[in-house]
Chains A and B, each alone.
Chain A
């Protein structure tokens, strides 16, 4: 039972344009969400997070949006750069628990 879903296994975006990565979840008890980026042969690196009491969090080129009623979050990267090419995972935390539930990832390719 996949509680966190990333329905697009891959995405290609032109350099300089906006990349939008999507994530859906089914468990309404998730109250904190994170995005991680992973390069081949490396561990995931934390990018940005958002609490369920917010609907937007911004950090430089990265913005995460949360729509609780739709159980949907998205990561916007603007402008996209070649170094952003990686696999992106969304992850969620249950209230009172620090165990991360990950999505299956989206491979983002930035085209120069």
Chain B
């Protein structure tokens, strides 16, 4: 069974640009979550999608947005990039049963210059 797939693995962007990251969940998983990992803040929750609807949202500015498609694939968009957005962005999927663990992809490393 294929794991969570994230593309691209690495991205370099300049300040002010926008970026779109992609995530394909494990087959059968309808819940997809996004996390940001930085050295100073650790892993922080961005948002969760289920059946194409945002079900939960973290404390990030509106520049961070996402969506989910009918096949459960998800995209995350960051507009007007800032230097502080440089991070590892992790996507995770899970079965929609109570307390089922998240399964993470290997992440997209975003560098903003």
A63 within 8 A of B: no
Scoring B4, B43, B94, B107 by chain A CB atoms within 10 A of each residue's CB, the highest score goes to B43
Interface string of B77-100 (1 = CB under 8 A from A): 000000000000010101000010
The answer to whether B25 has its CB under 8 Å from any CB of chain A is: no
A100 to B47 Cα, complex, angstroms: 11
Considering the complex, give the chain B residue whose CB is closest to the CB of A4.
B42
Q: Which of A91, A93, A97, A100 has its CB near the most chain B CB atoms (within 10 A)?
A: A100
Contact-residue size bin, chain B (C-beta under 8 Å from the other chain): 20 to 34
Q: Which residues of B contact A41 (CB under 8 A)?
A: 106
User: Is A51 in contact with B42, judged by CB distance below 8 angstroms?
Assistant: no
> Which residues of A, 34-85, contact B by the 8 Å Cβ criterion?
34, 36, 41-46, 49, 51
Q: Knowing A43-B106, A43-B107, A44-B90 are in contact, say whether A102-B99 is a contact too (CB < 8 A).
A: no
Partner of A44, one of B45, B58, B94, B104: B104
Please, which residues of chain B bring their CB within 8 A of the CB of A105?
42
Instruction: Give CA–CA (A46, B35) in the complex, Å.
Output: 15
In the complex, chain B residues whose CB is within 8 Å of the CB of A100: 33, 35, 43, 45, 102
Whether the Cβ atoms of A43 and B104 lie closer than 8 Å is: yes
CB-CB under 8 A from A102, the residues of chain B are 35, 42-44
Chain A contacts for B55, CB-based, 8 A? 98
- Of all chain B residues, the one with the shortest Cβ separation from A42 is B106
Partner of A98, one of B56, B105, B106: B56
Could you name 5 residue pairs across A and B whose Cβ atoms are closer than 8 Å? Answer: A32-B99, A93-B99, A100-B102, A101-B45, A102-B42
